[in-house]
Every structure is written in structure tokens, then in C-alpha cells.
Amino acid sequence: VLGLSACEKAAPATETTPAAGEEEIVGPGGINPWVEYDSLAKVNEKIGGYLTAPDGAAVEDKYLAVMNDGEMGEYRFTLGGMDYTFRFAPASTEDISGVWTEGGTVFDHEYPGNTEVVVLDTAKLARWMNIDGQYVLMVEDNGKMENDTFNSIVNELVTMTNESLVNNNGENG
């Protein structure tokens, strides 16, 4: 008990005030590392990446957040009755899917350089990378979604995230 008391005193809590458009989320164990935002533009500015939804899609139940002041961004939404989680983090970050299997995380830390797709019993996941960083898209589908449907959404988002990049001439692509 004394050891725990000493640890508590050694790490005093710091108070921060969220900026406009942010909401501090407090969990049962203290401050949650996620700060919720009200727009994708604010999330993308904070993370230096480009999270988006499939073009023209009727997206519902949006949740936008940034972890640890820009370490990772997350966009959760419902599309066609299925729940998606779309994340971005720097390329050097280990597996950001948040999904573990008996053998460890879904994706190896070593990145092969092309789009990886993993199909599980309850979800489908994809990971790709560009010069901004690493993207992961997951849909919780319980095996209901056709692989081709998921792949077409992944391909669209890969194209959109790559088109968001600005080259040396100030042009996209």
C-alpha cells in the first residue's frame, strides 16, 4: 500500500483545458488519452494525416478523436449498417489496428509496402502506407460483408489518402 501511495505522489496529475472543438474524455481510471473533435479537418490538422469517409457515402454515428496530442487519429462511423474504424499514425508506429489474435497483433510491425488485407471471423482489416504514415481500416462485419465489397472500399480510401498528398509543385498526387 505504501509503495502505491508513493507512486501516486511521484506522478502528479496535470490539468489541461481542451481547445474549441475538443472534448476531454475522462474514464474510470483517470484521463483518457483520446480527445474528441467535432470535424475531420481538425483531426487531420492535429495528426498530419488524411482520414476521410468513402466518397458520397451516407455515413452515420460519427466519432472523431486524437490520441496523445497527435500520436494517432481515429474516425469511427457506421456505413450500410456496419461499424468501421479508420485510423492514422506515423509510419514508424507499430500495429494500430487494436486487434490481437493468438499469435499476437494482426499486422506485423515490418511493413511490406503494399496494401495488406486480413479477414477474421468477426472483422475485416486493411493496412496501407504513404509518405504521411500508416492507415488502418477495420469493419466489424461478423463475416457478412463480401470480400470484394470491402476491397473496393479499401481501394477507394487508398486512392483518396494518396490524392491528399501534395507534391513539390503544390499539386495533389
Whether residue 33 contacts residue 68, with contact meaning beta carbons closer than 8 Å, is answered with yes
Query: 87 - beta bridge partners?
Result: 74, 136
What pTM was estimated for this model as a whole? 0.77
Mean pLDDT (the chain) is: 80
**pLDDT of 12 strictly over 80:** no
Least confident of 3-12, 13-22, 75-84, 129-138: 3-12
**pLDDT of 2 strictly over 50:** no
> What pLDDT sits at residue 20?
59
**pLDDT of 35 strictly over 70:** yes
